[in-house]
Amino acid sequence: MWKQVDENFWKENRESKIDEVTAAVQDIIDLVRFEGDKALFDLALKFDKAVLKDLEVSRDEIEEAYENVDPVLLDELENAAEFIQRFHELQVPEDLWLKEIEPGITLGVKSTPLERVGCYIPGGRAPYASTALMCIIPARVAGVGEVICCTPPSVDPVTLVAMDIAGADEIYKVGGAQAIAAMALGTESIERVQKIVGPGNVYVTAAKTMLRKNVEIDFPAGPSEIGVLADETADAEFIAADIIAQAEHDPSSACLLVATDAGLPGEVWSYIEKQMAGALRREIITSALKNSGYIVEEDIELAAEIMNGIAPEHLSIQVRDPLEVLSRTTNAGSIFIGPYSPVAAGDYASGTNHVLPTAGHAATMSGLNVGHFRKTSTVQILSRDGLAAIAPTIIAISEAEGFHAHAESVRIRGQKKE
């Protein structure tokens, strides 16, 4: 039986173990910094037991991967890619907008895509073709000039095909912290990028965090999480299925049920036991459930506040009035409402992004979106009369701050004869 916990339990049990791996990750970063490609070949042999001839995936390797992917699966990957593209196209801002807010004062914003970004696509316990789509497609929609990918060797054919469908320009057989270091610092074969996105294990997350002085990142994205907020109207079998689905990702995944009905956790657990009996990744699920638990809070408003404090990566709302709870929800990576909105829909095919902040970072950070791949510049266009209208304000404040040259730069314009 899973355990009843308080609202601090999950936070305490999912706190990053980055400190434990910092020294090891720093050693990897230093190797890549000073040895470049040689370090990547050596680390591939050490960690992945892979003897590589080349770091970059060739076009021939990509074509061979297509031959090894079931045509039906290929069609479904393309279907998923279409949904993901359609959703992210809705997020694209105007390249430039200008508005005259007062006579002679026109302000605006210019939005520009990044030139080169790196996507980390995990490997290891499972192929992550869906993550390839989720990382690359928004970058392409945003207008990024070059999108590269790093993924551990040997690259799964389905993942390789997904990276190609999504539009990756370069794909490298490099995984782990060394991949992050290579993209952040550059090597003989891998040109450095401006920003790195994508989820990974604690070593990947640590490397992203430690290299932020060299490269921008999206956010910490570690093992999967789900928080379920449910009342007596919820379907316990569906909740159990969603919990098992997220638990099968990783032994460090975490699942939490906040229930207003005291009998619901036991009912959900009964279904978890039944569904686990036939689960192919039962060992991983069992480990993940050790990081999991439930909270009973009869007041729905307090239950929603508890979930806001937890800020889960995925939030499933299974209550009588879900839109009321949604209005109270402030902290969640991605939200799934109602019995027929499984988290798996967002993981694969609805079109929303599944690269999301974990470990409470959803309280301050957004899931991967087109905005992560663009930057903005403010624009101002002032006429002589427009400047004259705000000149007293500029002069008064700048002189109060002791910046007299600022004030003079305005006065000199006002004194200039046309």
- 314 is a catalytic site residue: yes
Distance of alpha carbon 5 from alpha carbon 305, whole angstroms = 16
Does the CA dihedral 216-220-223-227 come out positive or negative?
Answer: negative
Strands 116-120 and 195-197: parallel
- If we measure between CA atoms, which residue out of 292, 316, 290 comes closest to residue 236? 316
- If we measure between CA atoms, which residue out of 229, 202, 191, 179 comes closest to residue 329? 229
DSSP 3-state assignment of 124?
A: coil
**Of 170, 225, 248, 313, which is the active-site residue?**
313
DSSP 3-state assignment of 349?
A: coil
**Of 88, 314, 354, 372, which is the active-site residue?**
314
Phi then psi dihedrals of residue 255, to 5 deg: -130, 135
Q: Which residues lie below 8 Å from residue 139, measured CB to CB, with a gap of 6+?
A: 117, 119, 147, 197, 373
The answer to whether 381 and 122 have CB atoms below 8 angstroms apart is: no
User: CB neighbours (10 Å) of residue 376?
Assistant: 11
Q: Which two tokens stand for residue 271?
A: 């279904």
Q: Which strands form 314-318's sheet, in the order they lie side by side?
A: 3-4, 293-296, 254-259, 225-230, 314-318, 334-337
Distance of alpha carbon 182 from alpha carbon 17, whole angstroms = 22
Distance of alpha carbon 288 from alpha carbon 90, whole angstroms = 35
The answer to whether 21 and 203 have CB atoms below 8 angstroms apart is: yes
Rounded to 10 degrees, the C-alpha dihedral 122/124/129/133 comes to 0
Q: Which residues lie below 8 Å from residue 149, measured CB to CB, with a gap of 6+?
A: 118, 119, 120, 121, 132, 135, 136, 163, 168, 170, 171, 172
Catalytic residues: 313-314
